[in-house]
Chain A
Amino acid sequence: QSALTQPASVSGSPGQSITISCTGTSSDVGGYNYVSWYQQHPGKAPKLMIYEVTNRPSGVSNRFSGSKSGNTASLTISGLQAEDEGDYYCSSYTSTGILGGVFGGGTKVTVL
């Protein structure tokens, strides 16, 4: 059972926007602005998409954006494209002493 809670799946049609939620507690998501998001295609390494809640690494499309409200962080993908299909994981710093932070269980994004 993962420390952060994500919906198992989210789907959308090309061009639409979708949002993936990531719910934690005040010890992680709610208490600090150190939430990150990773994209993973089957058999591939995770790729950093968002760090520190809202920041996009160089080279990541501006169709990806992050936000946070209370204990829930969100990843929004706008203008959904076929290449966005895959698994998405959130992660957060935690004050509970786990140096590497905690992760969510993942959300499978399907482009219809």
Chain B
Amino acid sequence: EVHLLESGGGLVQPGGSLRLSCAASGFTFSSYAMSWVRQAPGKGPEWVSTVSGSGGTTDYADSVKGRFTISRDNSKNTLYLQMNSLRDEDTAAYYCAKSITLYGYSYGSISYFDYWGQGTLVTVSS
């Protein structure tokens, strides 16, 4: 059974930093792209970032490019999101999601997210 468990969220002041983690189990972690998707209160989800199965290729939404860094440690089956220069508008629940690409490769445009974690809440406020 696939299981994804996020941690690391909390209250942070504007301009501050947080590091989110996502522990994965139940599948061959290194074979799949992994993504972070966030959801602001009362809003629809928003894709944030994706990393390839090997960890060598990444992509980001324009809204976080240059401030957030996605990474993974395949030896620990763990996904990370380093968030710097946080803004009020980054307040959201952050979900890690196992990602299925259009052609089934371990990186590429996402067709759908087949498993999601329960989320970790990030609140940016002074």
A-to-B contact residues, CB < 8 Å: 2, 34, 36, 38, 44-48, 51-52, 57, 89, 91, 93, 98-106
Contacts and interface: CB of A to CB of B under 8 A. Distances in A.
Given A44-B118, A93-B102, A51 B111 contact: yes
Interface residues of B, number: 28
A89 B50 CA distance: 20
A101 B119 CA distance: 19
27 contacts: A2-B43, A34-B102, A34-B111, A34-B112, A38-B45, A45-B95, A45-B116, A46-B45, A46-B113, A47-B116, A48-B114, A48-B115, A51-B112, A51-B114, A52-B112, A91-B113, A99-B50, A99-B59, A99-B108, A100-B35, A100-B50, A100-B61, A100-B99, A101-B47, A103-B45, A105-B44, A106-B44
Contacts of B95: 45-46
Contacts of B116: 45-47
B-side interface mostly: strand
Contacts of B108: 99
Contacts of B102: 34, 93
B39 to A, nearest CB: 8
A75 to B, nearest CB: 14
Contacts of A105: 43-44
B89 interface: no
Contacts of B59: 99-100
A2 B50 contact: no
A2 B99 CA distance: 21
Interface string B81-95: 000000000000001
Nearest to B95: A45
